């Protein structure tokens, strides 16, 4: 039987009240009838009527009695139902109370008049610490007023009217208030504790902010610029390692004033409020540091009131600008002393260059003509006379013509003008070179001669004198022309010498160029050999590969410079070709396999005469080009004998070269149009180096090619009748690291980075290393050179015009027994090579290859140590 609800109980109570009222009414009627019958007087003259009336009354009494009995039975049944309904209602009420008490949320029920009907203990517990007592019958408005007035809910509710509201209590907990209407117009309000959810959201939000901050710091740390972010209070909030490197600062603590941090460095404090000497706002500036570097500093205001400063190293840009300025100064110095008028017009006929003579003839102040058009500088009539010739030059035609003109001082001269178009490689004309020579004297002489010939019969004697005078003038003009040509030759010679000087300079500074690369190579090699996580190993290997690419590019440029400057000399000697070719085959077999190609090597046991290192460079360039321009197939390395000569040939199955480009490919900076998509394009110097080295060696280089099928490059070398001197073989049976472990090695180099790199690399191999920047520094560390040592590694170029060869001699002179020495240098001269060989030292060129260094050290230390 279903339990009765509150509405069923009310209806039963109403029915019960109605039955009681009817029962009471019937009892009163019945009593009145009985009293009337018992006390009534019957009239004697109508007994039948009285009897009939009594019968009727008896019938009515019986009917009323039956109705009363029925009503009593219904009342009894109703009382029973009412008792059951009350019991069910009480049970349901208790169940309702138990249900709302079992709810984990605070619960309160309001009726249609917005008065409290029910609430659970959790709702009541909110008010335990206050003087407020919550009772049934309190209105919703009063409850909400008490929530705000008592201060239990410390924050205003957050949310919209149609959403759940969220409150924060005094004890730090968070409540979500859900309010729903009932069918009778009442309200049900639930108070849900969401403290854990809010704490979880806070933790996630803090983690997200921390992760974003970490990602932002990593992104900023990987910028090539130095970055410093300052808040509105002038506090340094964010910076990267590049900022510390450029400013020369040690790691700084967070939340320091930016002005205080900048005060510890050489840098200039630049803020959005900074002004120059004229009071104008300064957004960027350039600063030269004490070590010669130049930094560009910029400030960027932030919407929040702070700013960001960026620091960019523009030293290289300044050096390029200074070099260009120096070159321009030399060019202008030469052209200003040439008697001819020289200028350059761009495609828009705007002056970009004029020499001193040009500006003096047209009476313009120095440099004022630059940036002005030909139409603006000269009169309209003058331009109209030149327009046709200018148009022909812009069309690509070299034009030479005579032109009479008068300058602002009314000097009239005859000029021989030459317009030479400046073409790009595409054939587009982007400007005109203007060369103007004064031929007034020659023109006047020609006119005078013409007139003399016309009047020769009449004025022979007179003209003889004039001709003599004119002849003298011609001789003077010829002499003047000879002097001009001599000055031009001298200017050309100076220009060529300047170019050669630059080339020699580049060759000479190869040591300084390779020093930092050598240090970086040593550090990355040491890192690669340590047992670090895989991610670090991959990163270091990528850095190592990038450094190797930079080394190759710089090495190529330095080689070209040395070849042009005549620094490299051939060291011709007989040797077995097999020792060179087998090493190259082993090296490039793996390179070809990495590119999906096959390298076939045909051994050769011939003896040849050449420089083994320069010949190896030629063959390496040929093999590298063959692999670079071959998509699939194979590369073949082999030899052919031709009487007293032998050709070393490199065949490939690549794309081939067109017939009309076979000579062009040996020019500098010429590269193939198509190559492997995953290969770098290089500088286009490989075959140029091959041709220059072959010229030094006296070898001839040949090329044959079939477009779409492949190519063959070969170099001729002379055969040798005498066997080479026997070289001591390296004993490689014993592991190299076993020989190096525990070895006492001294390193002498004036570069601190090289010393640090050497120490890291050699200690990784198990050596005991002492590094020094000078002989005095080394002497202090090793008891004036008397400590035991197994090997001395010295750089050839030291400070104060000292060299490593003399330093090794002085060190060994103070010892009882000489230390084996290894000399490291970027000097490739044969004289130094011969000197090192005669002294019995080992020579190694920069950049040092770690494996080559390890092999050489293992050989020098030997198995007997």
Instruction: Tell me, yes or no, if the two domains 99-198 and 222-317 fold the same way.
Output: yes
Other beta carbons within 10 angstroms of residue 782's beta carbon come to: 17
Burial of 133 (0-12, 13-18, 19+ CB in 10 A): exposed
pLDDT band at 154 (very low <50, low <70, confident <90, very high): low
Residue 308 zone, left/alpha/beta (φ > 0; ψ -120 to 50; rest): beta
Query: Rounded to whole angstroms, how far apart are CA atoms 662 and 654?
Result: 15
Q: What count of Cα atoms within 13 Å lies in the side-chain half-sphere of residue 201? A: 6
* Omega prior to 847 cis, within 30 of 0: yes
Domain ranges of the chain: 99-198, 222-317, 568-670+684-716, 742-859
Residues written for the chain:
865
132's CB contacts (< 8 A; 6+ apart) are: 146, 150
- Residues with Cβ within 8 Å of 507's Cβ and at least 6 positions away in sequence, in order, are 558, 561, 562, 565, 567
3-state DSSP call for residue 44?
A: coil
pLDDT at 63: 80
Res 716: pLDDT = 92
Please report the pLDDT score of residue 628 as a whole number. Answer: 85
Q: At what angle do helices 850-861 and 510-529 cross, to 10 degrees?
A: 80
pLDDT at 4: 44
Burial group, residue 258, by CB count within 10 angstroms (0-12, 13-18, 19+): buried
Give the residue, 557 or 767, on which the prediction is more confident.
767
Q: How far apart are the first and last CA of the chain?
A: 107
pLDDT computed for residue 162 by the predictor: 44
Q: Is residue 743 classed as helix, strand or coil in its secondary structure?
A: coil
Kindly report, residue by residue over 131-146, the tens digit of the pLDDT.
Answer: 777 777 888 777 777 7
Nearest to 314 by CA among 289, 332, 344, 340: 289
Architecture of domain 568-670+684-716: 2-Layer Sandwich (3.30)
pLDDT of residue 648: 92
pLDDT band, very low/low/confident/very high, at 526 (cuts 50, 70, 90): low
- DSSP assignment of 327-379: HHHHHHHHHHTSSSEEEEEETT-BEEEE-HHHHHHTT--TTTTTT-BHHHHS-
Structure tokens at 419: 């317009």
pLDDT band, very low/low/confident/very high, at 60 (cuts 50, 70, 90) = confident
Q: What average pLDDT does the structure give for the chain?
A: 76
Q: Which of 272-286, 468-482, 841-855 has the lowest mean pLDDT?
A: 272-286
What is the enclosing helix (H) or strand (E) of 415? strand 412-423
3-class SS at 639?
strand
Looking at the domain 222-317, which fold is it? Answer: Beta-Lactamase (3.30.450)
Say how far apart CA 761 and CA 771 lie, in whole Å.
Answer: 12
| Structure confidence at residue 735 (pLDDT) | 56
Residues 809-827: what's their mean pLDDT? 88
The secondary element (H helix, E strand) that includes residue 287 is strand 284-288
pLDDT tens string 622-679: 888 888 888 888 999 999 988 788 999 999 988 888 877 777 777 655 555 545 555 5
Per residue in 655-670, pLDDT tens?
A: 888 877 777 777 655 5
CATH 3.30.450.20 fits 99-198, yes or no: yes
Q: Which residue has the tokens 């090296």?
A: 587
Hey, CA dihedral for 85, 87, 93, 95, is it positive or negative?
negative
Q: What percent of the chain has pLDDT over 90?
A: 5
416 phi, psi to nearest 5 deg: -100, 105
804-813 and 830-839 are packed helices; what angle lies between their axes, rounded to 10 degrees? 10
Q: Which CATH code fits 742-859?
A: 3.40.50.2300
Rounded CA separation 741/762 (Å):
9
Cα angle, residue 676 at apex, residues 671 and 679 outer, rounded to 5°: 80
């Amino acid at each position: 039987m279903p339990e009765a609800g509150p509405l069923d109980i009310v209806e039963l109570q109403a029915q019960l009240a109605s039955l009681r009222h009817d029962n009471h009414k019937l009892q009163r009627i019945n009593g009145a009838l009985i009293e009337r019958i018992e006390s009534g007087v019957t009239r004697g003259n109508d007994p039948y009527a009285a009897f009939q009336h009594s019968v009727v009354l008896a019938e009515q009494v019986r009917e009323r009695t039956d109705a009363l009995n029925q009503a009593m039975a219904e009342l009894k049944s109703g009382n029973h139902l009412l008792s059951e309904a009350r019991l069910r209602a009480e049970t349901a009420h208790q169940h309702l109370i138990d249900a709302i008490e079992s709810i984990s949320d605070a619960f309160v029920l309001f009726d249609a008049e917005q008065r409290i009907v029910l609430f659970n203990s959790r709702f009541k517990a909110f008010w335990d610490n206050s003087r407020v007592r919550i009772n049934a019958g309190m209105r919703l408005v009063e409850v909400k007023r008490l929530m705000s007035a008592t201060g239990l809910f410390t924050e205003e509710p957050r949310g919209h009217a149609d959403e759940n509201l969220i409150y924060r209590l005094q004890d730090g907990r968070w409540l979500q208030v859900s309010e729903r209407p009932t069918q009778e117009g009442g309200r049900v309000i639930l108070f849900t504790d969401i403290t854990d959810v809010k704490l979880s959201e806070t933790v996630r939000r803090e983690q997200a902010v921390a992760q974003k901050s970490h990602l932002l710091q990593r992104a900023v740390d990987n910028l090539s610029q130095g970055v410093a972010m300052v808040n509105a209070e002038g506090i340094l909030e964010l910076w990267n390692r590049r900022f510390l490197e450029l400013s020369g600062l040690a790691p700084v603590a967070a939340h320091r004033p930016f002005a205080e941090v900048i005060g510890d460095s050489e840098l200039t404090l630049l803020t959005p409020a900074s002004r120059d000497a004229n009071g104008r706002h300064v957004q960027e500036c350039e600063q030269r540091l004490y070590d010669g570097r130049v930094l560009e500093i910029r400030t960027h205001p932030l919407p929040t009131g702070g700013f960001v400063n960026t620091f960019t190293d523009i030293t290289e840009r300044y050096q390029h600008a200074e070099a260009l300025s120096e070159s321009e100064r030399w060019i202008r110095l030469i052209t200003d002393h040439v008697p001819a008028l020289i200028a350059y017009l761009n495609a828009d006929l705007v002056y970009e260059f004029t020499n001193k003579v040009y500006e003096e003839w047209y009476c313009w102040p120095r440099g004022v003509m630059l940036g002005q058009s030909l139409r603006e500088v000269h009169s309209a009539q003058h331009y109209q006379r030149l327009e046709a010739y200018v148009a022909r030059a812009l069309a690509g035609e070299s034009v030479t013509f005579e032109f009479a003109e008068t300058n602002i001082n009314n000097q009239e001269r005859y000029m021989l003008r030459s317009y030479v178009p400046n073409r790009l490689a595409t054939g587009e004309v982007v400007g005109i070179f203007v060369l103007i020579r004064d031929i007034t004297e020659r023109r006047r002489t020609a006119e005078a001669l013409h007139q003399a010939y016309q009047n020769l019969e009449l004025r022979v004697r007179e003209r003889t004198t004039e001709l003599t005078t004119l002849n003298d003038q011609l001789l003077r003009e010829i002499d003047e022309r000879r002097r001009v040509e001599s000055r031009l030759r001298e200017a050309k010679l100076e220009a060529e010498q300047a170019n050669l000087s630059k080339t020699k300079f580049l060759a000479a500074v190869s040591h300084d160029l390779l020093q930092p690369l050598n240090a970086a190579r040593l550090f990355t090699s040491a890192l690669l050999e340590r047992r670090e996580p895989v991610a670090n190993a991959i990163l270091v290997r990528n850095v190592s590969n990038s450094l190797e690419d930079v080394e190759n590019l710089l090495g190529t440029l330095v080689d070209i410079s040395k070849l042009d400057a005549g620094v490299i000399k051939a060291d011709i000697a007989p040797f077995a070709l097999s020792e060179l070719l087998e090493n190259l085959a082993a090296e490039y077999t793996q390179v070809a396999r990495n590119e999906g190609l096959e390298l076939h090597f045909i051994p050769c046991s011939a003896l040849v005469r050449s420089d083994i290192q320069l010949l190896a460079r030629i063959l390496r360039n040929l093999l590298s080009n063959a692999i670079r321009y071959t998509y699939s197939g194979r590369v073949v390395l082999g030899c052919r004998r031709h009487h007293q000569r032998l050709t070393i040939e490199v065949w490939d199955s690549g794309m081939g070269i067109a017939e009309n480009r076979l000579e062009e490919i040996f020019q500098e900076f010429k590269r193939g149009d198509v190559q492997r998509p995953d290969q770098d394009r290089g500088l286009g110097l490989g075959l140029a180096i091959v041709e220059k080295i072959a010229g030094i060696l006296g070898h001839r280089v040949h090329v044959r090619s079939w477009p779409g099928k492949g190519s063959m490059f070969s170099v001729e070398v002379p055969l040798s009748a005498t066997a080479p001197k026997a070289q001591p073989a390296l004993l490689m049976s014993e592991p190299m690291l076993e020989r190096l472990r525990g070895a006492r090695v001294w390193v002498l180099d004036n570069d601190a980075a090289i010393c640090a790199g050497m120490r890291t690399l050699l200690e990784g191999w198990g050596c005991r290393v002492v590094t020094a920047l000078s002989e005095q520094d080394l002497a202090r560390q090793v008891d004036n050179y008397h400590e035991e040592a197994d090997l001395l590694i010295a750089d050839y170029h030291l400070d104060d015009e000292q060299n490593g060869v003399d330093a090794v001699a002085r060190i060994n002179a103070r010892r009882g027994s000489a230390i084996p020495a290894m000399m490291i240098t970027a000097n490739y001269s044969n004289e130094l090579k011969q000197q090192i060989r005669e002294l019995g030292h080992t020579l190694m060129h920069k950049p040092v290859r770690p494996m080559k260094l390890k092999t050489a050290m293992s050989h020098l230390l030997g198995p007997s140590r």
